[in-house]
Structure 1
Amino acid sequence: MATELTAPRAGVRPDVAAIQRRTLRLLFTTQIIGGIGVTIGIAVGALLAARIAGTALAGVAQSAGVVGAALLAVPVTRVMARHGRRPGLVLAYAVGTVGGLLVVLAAVLRSVPLLLLGMLLFGGGTAANLQARYTAVDLAEPARRGRQLSVIVWATTIGAVAAPNFAALADRITTGWGLPPLAGPFAFSAAAFVLAAVVLLGLLRPDPLLTARQVAAAGEPTADATATGAPASAPVEASGRRRAGMRAAWSVVRAQPAARLGIAAVAVGHLVMVAVMAMTPVRLGESHADADVLRLVGIVLSLHIAGMYAFSPVVGWLTDRLGRRAVILGGVGLLLAACAVAGTAGHHTPRLSVGLVLLGLGWSGTMVAGSTLLSESVPAEVRPNVQGLCDLIMGLAGAGAAVVSGFVMQLAGYPVLTLLAAVAAAPLVALALRPAPTGASDKEG
């Protein structure tokens, strides 16, 4: 019954262009709302965790949110595969809401286990934001996929810029209500997730993924066939395996070189970015007094976030104009340059800032081009599971990089960390330089 409510009626050809325009406007709005909720948690999560659990566990609490987003990608995309994008996105935001409320409760009770559980579930907001970029390309024209995906990524910039101001306001308001300091922003995050979920539940109709399947089932030319060279029956052939979840997704990825490159680009780019970014505040702390370090960290990380998101529409345009592989290679080149600049900056903060901007730009290139390539390289029937597998791998890669980077920083220092990050990115160059298979889309090359 849920499918009948969200998909166009059988036998009626949907107005794909109109549905896509409506979907993009809606996703842009909810991405801002959800982005505010997520960024508020990132901004104050470590500080709250340090007060409740101590400094040693502050990083663990932050990592729990990253791991939660990765693990939640599996059930969320399973729901999407069966019922469409709308219930999957709503589920992710609902889980994030519960997580935010549990963090507030943990602050009141000063409970470390409850805090870690809350942060784990809070990752649902991040999972929703990540899945929104895939929702943007279900019905996109092949020549505009990169741009339309990147616009949804770019919307996160607005939320990221606005969030610190909302965090301070929420903390002041809720402290007057009797909540402990730094707990209020998580209550505000929960409210933002609820708002995003309600908007999607009421307005994301017809469902873009279900509409894409209807178009494919009608035998019309589809993005899947265009991008992969697969016959029009490919989505139908995948339908029998759809419910197998990650196993089916892995089988599809193994059989499709372009899908493997897409996942590798997203995961490796994220791993390098997190590894270097996570230890940059520590690097700044080595050469600046406590009175200055927080201000400098704020400036440097703001520039880094601008590199990640502010130029994503340009990256999307280049992805459509030059091809997916070319932009992936450009992204890797920027990541390598970032490691070289940041690793040799010493205690020169302006040079380190340039390195972090390049790091954000490189991440944007691998994320936008890799996600676009992955989405167009697999049939619509199994696409959500493959995308969930990608986000699972990406999240775990980022979480692992955050943990390992601390040990490398302590044992060998920041320059060695950036060198190892560059080494980790290098194999992606060879993978992207492999010739595209016969029948692949020109845009892939």
Structure 2
Amino acid sequence: MSKEDPRQYEKYTKSDAEREKLHKRTLTVVIMSQIFGGAGLAAGITVGALIAQDMLETTRYAGLPAALFTLGSALSAFVVGRLSQRLGRRLGLTIGFVTGGIGAIGVIFATTFNIIWLFFLALFIYGAGTSTNLQARYAGADLANARQRATAVSIAMVSTTFGAVAGPNLVEPMGKVAEFINIPSLAGPFILAAVAYILAGLTFFFYLRPDPLFVAQAIAEEESRQADAAGIPVDRGHTSIQRIGIIVGSIVLVLSQMVMSSIMTMTPVHMRDHGSGLSAVGLVIGLHIAAMYLPSIVTGRLVDRIGRHRIVIASGITLGISGIMAAYAPGESLFWMAFALILLGLGWNFGLISGTAIIVDSTNVYTRAKTQGSVDVFIALGGSAGSLLSGIIVANASFSILGFIGMYLALLLIPLIFWVRLKEKKLAQDKMRMTS
């Protein structure tokens, strides 16, 4: 289970009070790290497409940067998930964040010396920070019980708001810092990203002790021993994993990410083409990111209280409305673009927390981290596809068409939930017939 001495976990396996105390401490560490991580992820979202547009002198490939760092996010999600399962959350998340920081440094060099291949490679590496920032939400849920899981995930996410909202609004100040040290102004946000991601990694490395995943495994082992002693059969293998839940949770997460990434990626380009300045773009993206993370604490409680499926339906409806608004909102209107992007962020928030809760419900501690990493691979690939195709769609059609496509994809979440409810009802009926 761990190279550390397993005896250090004994007090957590035998005392609910100690376990709860450690759960709260873990959430505190996750909050500290997520504040830094949020600032790091904002750089690529806000100026990545603008740098590509300037370097390539075309809008057609403006979605490529987001596609690249989400592809890098996909690879790192797989690696970080496997590392976390084997080495624990602490080392897995540390490696992911530091790698993202190195990628941000590479973007700075590439932009400064106008090296396009290095810019693309560095963005790919920078994506490690994006996926690690998302995977950190699982660390907060390792020690949560079934009634606390969505709330624990939401607490981890809401803390990202502080850094994520500050990041886009620091575009101009960081641009001035960049110019002061003789590098292009658009590279400025990546200076912030490099520092933020590395600090996030170091926070996990020094403070996430004992590792919550290893403690959760120790608790599960103790419960298994007690069940064995009482003669109760315990399933520690894969059969306890609810495969339907993993599939449904994955689809919810992937569709939410695809819709959000595609519209968000092209919004800065769309606004700048209609005469908006960097400060206006930064404000809209900042409000969008606030809507992605700030409602999390309320969303988590709603998911735990009224159910995962209802919030998934709310996600589909909210994302659908945001797609329509993006299609019709004037590109020069700060108010309407901000409103559309706020709804886009809120719909993504509903989808991410409800989908994550479904995934956590459908896994156990023996396979959880690597399963979560694999799911996050598909989330990143969905986001990458959305980002890449968004530039092509806007270049060959329009931003309005992109909004309509996003709406149609979002509304697919509603029939998905009706399907899974029918499937669960059928499985329950089959189980009753077998036992009768």
Mapped pair 1:413 → 2:398: yes
State which drifts further: 102-111 or 80-89.
Answer: 102-111
Aligned residues: 413
Relative to structure 1, the CA distance from residue 294 to residue 344 in structure 2 (aligned partners, 3 Å threshold; closer, same or farther) is same
Q: In structure 1, what is the Cα distance between the partners aligned to 2:190 and 2:218?
A: 40
Q: Any unmatched runs of 5+ in structure 2?
A: 227-231, 429-436
Find the counterpart in structure 2 of residue 233 from structure 1: 234
Relative to structure 1, the CA distance from residue 108 to residue 414 in structure 2 (aligned partners, 3 Å threshold; closer, same or farther) is closer
Find the counterpart in structure 1 of residue 248 from structure 2: 261
Find the counterpart in structure 1 of residue 198 from structure 2: 194
Find the counterpart in structure 2 of residue 332 from structure 1: 316
- Please state whether the residue corresponding to 1:219 is helix, strand or coil: helix
Mapped pair 1:69 → 2:68: no
Instruction: Give, as a single letter, the amino acid of the residue that structure 1 aligns with 2:244.
Output: P
TM-score, length of structure 2 as denominator length: 0.85
Q: In structure 1, what is the Cα distance between the partners aligned to 2:411 and 2:113?
A: 47
Q: In structure 2, what is the Cα distance between the partners aligned to 1:165 and 1:274?
A: 19
Residue 318 (structure 1) aligned to one of 285, 302, 307:
302
- Please state whether the residue corresponding to 1:357 is helix, strand or coil: helix
Relative to structure 1, the CA distance from residue 36 to residue 13 in structure 2 (aligned partners, 3 Å threshold; closer, same or farther) is closer
Residue 27 (structure 1) aligned to one of 26, 30, 41:
30
Relative to structure 1, the CA distance from residue 414 to residue 193 in structure 2 (aligned partners, 3 Å threshold; closer, same or farther) is closer
| Residue correspondence of structure 1 range 80-159 to structure 2 within 5 A | 80-159=84-163
Instruction: Give, as a single letter, the amino acid of the residue that structure 2 aligns with 1:31.
Output: Q
Q: In structure 1, what is the Cα distance between the partners aligned to 2:386 and 2:240?
A: 27
TM-score, length of structure 1 as denominator length: 0.83
Instruction: Give, as a single letter, the amino acid of the residue that structure 1 aligns with 2:234.
Output: S
| Residue correspondence of structure 1 range 299-314 to structure 2 within 5 A | 299-314=283-298
Q: In structure 2, what is the Cα distance between the partners aligned to 1:313 and 1:367?
A: 13
Q: In structure 1, what is the Cα distance between the partners aligned to 2:268 and 2:203?
A: 37
Relative to structure 1, the CA distance from residue 422 to residue 58 in structure 2 (aligned partners, 3 Å threshold; closer, same or farther) is closer
Instruction: Give, as a single letter, the amino acid of the residue that structure 1 aligns with 2:355.
Output: G
Residues 45-90 of structure 1, C-alpha deviation per residue, up to 9 Å, x if partnerless? 3344445454455532332112111211111111011111111101
- Please state whether the residue corresponding to 1:120 is helix, strand or coil: helix
Find the counterpart in structure 2 of residue 211 from structure 1: 215
Q: In structure 2, what is the Cα distance between the partners aligned to 1:414 and 1:48?
A: 19
State which drifts further: 343-352 or 137-146.
Answer: 343-352
Mapped pair 1:368 → 2:350: no
Structure 1 vs Structure 2 CA RMSD: 2.9
Relative to structure 1, the CA distance from residue 8 to residue 170 in structure 2 (aligned partners, 3 Å threshold; closer, same or farther) is farther
Q: Any unmatched runs of 5+ in structure 1?
A: 223-230, 239-250, 440-445
Residues 152-186 of structure 1, C-alpha deviation per residue, up to 9 Å, x if partnerless? 11111100222245554444445444545444543
Relative to structure 1, the CA distance from residue 406 to residue 102 in structure 2 (aligned partners, 3 Å threshold; closer, same or farther) is closer
Find the counterpart in structure 2 of residue 274 from structure 1: 261
- Please state whether the residue corresponding to 2:237 is helix, strand or coil: helix
Q: In structure 2, what is the Cα distance between the partners aligned to 1:186 and 1:279?
A: 19
Q: Per-residue deviation at 1:121?
A: 0.6
Contact 2:253–2:352 (Cα < 8 Å) also in 1: yes
Mapped pair 1:426 → 2:425: no
Relative to structure 1, the CA distance from residue 112 to residue 344 in structure 2 (aligned partners, 3 Å threshold; closer, same or farther) is closer
Percent identity over paired residues: 31
Contact 2:131–2:380 (Cα < 8 Å) also in 1: no
